[in-house]
Amino acid sequence: MNFTNQLIGWCLILASILLTLWRRKRSFDNPRYPSYWKHLTAKIVDGFCRFLGLILLVGGVLVVASEFKDTWGAFVLLPVCGFMLFLFLGIA
């Protein structure tokens, strides 16, 4: 087992959790915006944080699962490999 891969995977998962919590805190505060453009900018930033958090979470889970594919990682990697095969065969 490689410790650096595990560390990178868990850091990605932690970063996604922190981004999600930050986005949720911003949406819970219910601020008043002086203009529509500031409101739109805040919504775009929140959407980007949601997307980036999702990508980081998926990447972290895949990195950690690839390290533990002998025990429980196959349950995570099997649907991913099936989807990749689905894409490579051109069925989608």
**Domain extents for the chain?**
3-88
Instruction: Give me the residue label for tokens 């995570």.
Output: 76
Query: Is pLDDT at 45 greater than 60 in this prediction?
Result: yes
pLDDT at residue number 27: 61
Give the mean model confidence (pLDDT) for residues 59-78: 82
Rounded to two decimals, the pTM is: 0.71
pLDDT at residue number 1: 56
